[in-house]
Amino acid sequence: MSEVLSQAEIDALLSALSEGTVDEEKIKISSPQKIRVYDFKRPNKFSKGHLNSLLNIHENFCRSLSTFLAGNLHVAVDSKVLATEQVTYDEFIRSLPYPAILGIYSMNPLEGNALIELNPTLVFLIIDRLLGGTGIEIPKNRDLTEIERKIISGRLSKIVKLMNEAWADIFELDVSLVNMETNPQFTQIVAPNEMVVVITIEVKIGEAKGMINICIPYIVMKPILDKLNSLLFFSSQKKEISAEERELVRQKIEWAKVPLTVYIGSTQITLQDLLHLEKGDVIPLNQSIKEPLAVYVGNFMRFKGLPGIYNNNLAVQITEIVNKGGDNDG
Got the DSSP string for 144-186?
PPHHHHHHHHHHHHHHHHTHHHHTTTT---EEEEEEEES-GGG
Residue 262 sits in the same domain as residue 122: no
pLDDT at 73: 86
Q: What is the pLDDT of residue 216?
A: 95
One domain, residues 262 and 301: yes
Q: Is residue 60 a part of any domain in this protein?
A: yes
Co-location of 160 and 280 in the same domain: no
Cα(190)–Cα(187) distance, integer angstroms: 9
Is 118 in the same domain as 184? yes
Decide if 55 is inside a domain: yes
pLDDT at 38: 57
Q: Mark which of 239, 264, 285 sits at the end of a domain.
A: 239
Residue 212, domain member (yes or no): yes
Residue 30 lies in a domain: no
CATH code, domain carrying 155: 3.40.1550.10
Using an 8 Å Cβ cutoff, are 79 and 203 in contact?
Answer: yes
Identify which of 97, 94, 116 has the alpha carbon closest to the alpha carbon of residue 201: 116
Q: Is 140 a domain residue?
A: yes
Q: Count the Cβ atoms, other than its own, within 10 Å of residue 204.
A: 16
Task: Decide which of 211, 239, 267 is a domain's last residue.
Answer: 239
Pairing assessment for the beta strands 77-88 and 195-205 based on DSSP bridges: antiparallel
Residue 317 domain boundaries: 254-321
221 and 77 both lie in a single domain: yes
Number of domains in the chain: 2
Q: Does residue 153 form part of some domain?
A: yes
Based on the fold, state whether residues 235 and 310 are members of the same structural domain: no
d(CA 114, CA 191): 13
Q: For residues 225 and 222, give the distance between their C-alpha atoms in angstroms, rounded to a whole number.
A: 5
Strand order in the sheet with 300-310: 260-263, 293-297, 300-310, 313-321
**CA–CA distance, 153 with 69 (Å, rounded to integer):** 14
Does 316 share its domain with 201?
no
Q: Are residues 141 and 259 in the same domain?
A: no
Q: Which among 239, 268, 292 is the end of a domain?
A: 239
* In a shared domain, residues 123 and 209: yes
Q: Are residues 153 and 264 in the same domain?
A: no
What does the pLDDT read at residue 40? 61
Check: CB of residue 197 under 8 Å from CB of residue 42. Answer: no
pLDDT in tens, the chain (330 residues): 456 677 777 777 777 777 767 666 665 554 455 666 656 666 678 888 888 889 999 999 999 999 999 888 888 889 999 999 999 999 999 999 888 899 999 999 999 999 999 998 899 989 888 888 877 756 567 888 899 999 999 999 999 999 999 998 888 999 999 999 999 988 889 999 999 999 999 999 888 889 999 999 999 999 988 888 765 544 444 455 667 767 777 776 777 777 889 988 888 888 888 888 899 999 888 888 888 999 988 888 899 999 989 888 989 999 999 875 444 444
Rounded Cα gap, residues 240 and 217, in angstroms: 36
